[in-house]
Amino acid sequence: MNIKCVCIALVALTGGFYACDSKKETDAFDPKVTELLSQMTLEEKAGQLNFVVGDLFTTGPDGKPKAPDYLDEAIKKGEVTGIFNIYGAEYTQTLQKKAVEESRLGIPLLIGADIIHGLKTIMPIPLAEAASWDLEAIELGSRVAARESAAAGINLTFAPMVDISRDARWGRNAEGAGEDTYLGSLIAAARVRGFQGSDLSLANTIAACVKHFAAYGAAEAGRDYNTVDMSDIALRETYLPPFKAAIDAGAASIMTSFNELNGVPASGNEYLLQDILRKEWGFEGLVISDWQSISEMMFHGYSKDSIEATIQGINAGTELDMMADLYLSFLPQLVREGKVSEAVLDRAVGHILQLKVDLGLFDNPYLYSDPAVEAKEIRSAENLEAAFEIARRSIVLLKNEKQTLPVKSTVKRIAVIGPLGDNQADMNGTWSFFAEALHPISFLEGIKAYAGPGVEVTYAQGCNLYDNSTEHFAAARAAAQRADLVILAIGESAVMNGEGASRSDITLPGIQQELVNQIAAVGKPTVALVSSGRALALTELEAKVDAILATWTLGSQAGKAVASVLFGEYNPAGKLPVTFPRSVGQVPIYYNHKNTGRPFEGDFSSQKLEDRVYRSRYRDVDNSPLYPFGYGLSYTTFEYSQPVLNQTSLTDDSPITVTVKVSNTGDRDGEEVVQLYTRDLIGSLTRPVKELKGFQKIHLKAGESRDISFELKASDLAFWRADGTYGYEPGDFKLMIGGNSRDTQEAVFSIPNP
Ligand code: NOJ
């Protein structure tokens, strides 16, 4: 294979840094791959590009799980490269044996799965983990998921999902790292490191598949699979960097997205798959389609029939056909007719075979299918402990009036009320098909365990998750009446977020707010545990309760993690990775927006003449969010000094060091995420009002103060400029440091003209 990789010269003419370095010239395939390619028929090559779901369950439309007989035959005939969404050491061993011993070329199988946040030990959903701002914990979460999956025969996960989304209506927020490109990029890399470890061929690491390329999170109106139309600048600045970060971290594969981007479906999009992915970024791994996304190009109105979809898909660079069955059916003939070049086919097959080599499958097809390791690894004490630790780090304290939390020792009767209070299955969350519904620790169980024998803990369901029945209200009110403290467990169920789970109303579902109102009227101190896979509009709830914990969906150890925070064993330190709006009408709302020519920061009810009409504002709600990006309280308090800069002029050779004194002014030890933001005041293209540029998660003892320093380089201020180049521009900047994106201390600096 000798495919030239041309590096597009995105050369900045003035100072700044360059987007592109020179990449490897060829796909350097292993000799094993080259040898196999020389032996394969066109049918066998097409078979290596065919990826089918297993016989367990299905994760897409028109899908019935494949029948075991079908899989059997397809494997023997070399008509599938692998099977996904199956697991089990023994089962996968049987399948590998069939492939290796009974197909003509004996090529082992790729066994893929949607291991989004764990196989059997379920970690918090990715959005929750992002709220920990703890890259080590996040990497460990993926590591545990990889260990369990690898032991169960899986060698490829369809994760991490790195789609940035600024629209809380989109259900797949749950699977990503939130709204911010900088945080999202660091998390993307951490997850890849977690899944892949240092060596893909080890028995306890699996290949990552970064998805969905690209801009899937920007679906219009937050409706899943919907159209995306955006400027190239927005694409490059906001949506692409997490993919680049994952690839730089070594991600072995990438998945195309369902959406069209500026009129071209992602699976047929040469600009994305060739110009950016291969040529600019030099990606040498495998490109996988999403479920039937190649055939869906017909519905998009881009391909007139299956043949055209096949040609457009493979030529654009979509290499593995997931469930459309087009490549297997049409590619051999299309190559014979000269409509698809064999070199294109070989390159795609080369990438898949190379991945199998890298995974060590040719050396040992049973590497990932060891029943003894599986028995030891699945839900080991170590894995469960990791899930617990990560879960409590993911919890965000949004409100804590009258120091309602942590639970005081004077509290002797607790009423847990709400549809998620005594609920295990929903704790697993979206994308947890492999997990057992009855494994997670419920909130009730966790609270009982931490409350101890001297405290009476009762439970009342109050209402169902979705419907409007009020039949259980009276019992819930009675339970609240008897209690010293009410803990409301409310929010979204697992299926209310994830794929195909967009919501137009992001307040509490069903009759839950009415339940809150009824319980609040009883007048007892009330804490709300809010489960969700997205930012919710919690304005009404906020007005009614004393304390709120965002508990997302926390996985196997949910109840224990929540109780650990409620009872003060762990001092919460999570920070929001998404902006919580006041109302759904503000969506999309995100912290790093532009300023507009008529900015408005006042109160919506202001009647001052200068505020009244000609301002970028709503008449019925403030512009500001209910809880800003980066926000989260602690049981202690932190104070920030004015930032001190070692110099106020920033050049290529001389970064700025900014130092701020952070003090724990409360009476408990605690952790704080110190966040650094900048604003480029004037640009050749306008810049956001704030951009996250760094953060440090620190631990301070009660009363302790510490100087925290960040280094800011000129290249940190680079952006896609008006002339299409990437780099910084001279001028004046603002720097902001604080414990969230709203409450910050400021300083100024500048980049001088060259
Ligand atoms: C469709 C989803 O978009 C993708 O994320 C997932 O990996 C595949 N289905 C396989 O389940």
pLDDT at 612: 77
User: What's the CATH class of domain 638-751?
Assistant: mainly beta
77-81, 525-529, 591-595, 609-613: the lowest-pLDDT one: 609-613
**Sheet (strand 110-113) strand order:** 286-288, 253-256, 207-213, 156-157, 110-113, 82-84, 50-53, 321-322
- How many A from CA of 129 to the centre of ligand 1? 20
pLDDT at 2: 32
Cβ-Cβ contacts under 8 Å for 512 (sequence gap 6 or more): 418, 419, 463, 465, 490, 491
Among 290, 293, 323, 497, which residue has the most ligand 1 atoms within 8 Å of its CB, making it the best to mutate?
290
Q: Given its phi and psi angles, is residue 354 left (phi above 0), alpha (psi -120 to 50 degrees) or beta? A: alpha
pLDDT tops 80 at residue 506:
yes
CB 206 within 8 A of CB 193: no
- How many A from CA of 693 to the centre of ligand 1? 31
Structure tokens, 39: 């032996």
pLDDT tops 90 at residue 16:
no
pLDDT tops 60 at residue 13:
no
Q: Which residues are catalytic?
A: 290
Cα–Cα distance, 332 to 392 (Å, whole number): 53
pLDDT tops 60 at residue 17:
no
Q: What are the sequence ranges of the domains in the chain?
A: 638-751
User: How large a percentage of the chain has pLDDT more than 70?
Assistant: 96
pLDDT tops 90 at residue 11:
no
Pocket lining: 216 vs ligand 1, CB cutoff 6 Å = no
- How many A from CA of 659 to the centre of ligand 1? 44
Cα–Cα distance, 431 to 434 (Å, whole number): 8
Pocket lining: 211 vs ligand 1, CB cutoff 6 Å = yes
Structure tokens, 481: 């009446």
pLDDT digits (tens, 9 = 90+) for 320-351: 999 999 999 999 999 999 999 999 999 999 99
User: pLDDT class for 548, splitting at 50, 70, 90?
Assistant: very high
Cα–Cα distance, 625 to 620 (Å, whole number): 13
Structure tokens, 186: 């660091």
The HSE-up count of residue 713 (CA atoms within 13 Å, CB side) is 9
- How many A from CA of 496 to the centre of ligand 1? 17
Among 86, 291, 430, which residue has the most ligand 1 atoms within 8 Å of its CB, making it the best to mutate?
291
Peptide bond into 588 cis (omega under 30): yes
pLDDT digits (tens, 9 = 90+) for 357-379: 999 999 999 999 999 999 999 99
pLDDT tops 90 at residue 106:
yes
Cβ-Cβ contacts under 8 Å for 580 (sequence gap 6 or more): 398, 535, 536, 537, 538, 625, 626, 627, 628, 631
- Complete DSSP assignment for 458-509: EEE--S-SSS---TTHHHHHHHHHH-SEEEEEEE--GGGSSTT---S--SS-
User: pLDDT class for 113, splitting at 50, 70, 90?
Assistant: very high
Mean pLDDT of the chain: 95
Cα–Cα distance, 663 to 706 (Å, whole number): 6
Q: Which of 255, 117, 236 is nearest to 187 (CA)?
A: 117
CB 385 within 8 A of CB 441: no
Q: Report, as an integer, the average pLDDT of 169-173.
A: 98
Q: Which of 235, 224, 128 is nearest to 555 (CA)?
A: 128
Q: Report, as an integer, the average pLDDT of 628-648.
A: 98
pLDDT tops 90 at residue 707:
yes
User: pLDDT class for 605, splitting at 50, 70, 90?
Assistant: confident
Structure tokens, 92: 């996968």
Q: Which of 49, 6, 60, 25 is nearest to 318 (CA)?
A: 49
pLDDT at 753: 96
User: pLDDT class for 600, splitting at 50, 70, 90?
Assistant: very high
Residue nearest to atom 11 of ligand 1 (CA): 59
Q: Report, as an integer, the average pLDDT of 229-238.
A: 97
